[in-house]
Amino acid sequence: MEILRWDKRFSVGNEEIDLQHKMLFNIANYLTTGSGKGYERNEMKEIIAELVAYTDYHFRFEENLLKEHPSIESHRKIHADFVEKVLFFEKEFAQGKEEVNGELFSFLVQWIRDHILVTDIEFFKN
Ligand SMILES: [Fe+2]
């Protein structure tokens, strides 16, 4: 299973945002490796809930920093779509569809990586 590794390509040039992105890497990786280690269902559920809570905090923080950016609305929309998708996975998992895990992990890894490298870096340029 692929995990996220931080390197300087991911830096958006804002120390606090970089720290928050590292935290997102940690939660996503914890979820991915936790499932491989056979974590209990409840534990997985808690980590998913933590992911939901942390992304909520992080997206608000980031959107607030970028609030004067002319394209902030499109960025907000991208964040909202992500949240909606994670909440969907969370609901599926709660309903006992554990097979959503694999799908959730690959979605997370790919989304977080691409979002930082493409969207966040672009938005923090100016
Ligand atoms: Fe973002």
Cα of 43 from ligand 1 centre, angstroms = 27
| Whether the model pTM is above 0.85 | yes
User: Which positions ≥6 away from 45 have C-beta within 8 Å?
Assistant: 93, 94
Q: Residue 38 is encoded by which pair of tokens?
A: 């056979």
Q: What percent of the chain has pLDDT over 70?
A: 98
Q: What is the pLDDT of residue 54?
A: 98
> Domains along the chain?
14-123 (1.20.120.50)
For the segment 85-120, what is each residue's pLDDT rounded down to a tens digit? 999 999 998 998 877 788 888 899 999 999 999 999
Please check the confidence at residue 8 and state whether its pLDDT lies above 70: yes
Cα of 36 from ligand 1 centre, angstroms = 28
Cα of 73 from ligand 1 centre, angstroms = 11
pLDDT band of 42, cuts 50, 70, 90:
confident
Q: What is the pLDDT of residue 76?
A: 98
Cα of 60 from ligand 1 centre, angstroms = 9
Cα of 59 from ligand 1 centre, angstroms = 6
Query: Rounded mean pLDDT of the chain?
Result: 93
For the segment 19-37, what is each residue's pLDDT rounded down to a tens digit? 999 999 999 999 888 877 7
Cα of 38 from ligand 1 centre, angstroms = 31
Q: Please, what sign has the CA dihedral across residues 94, 5, 20, 70? A: negative
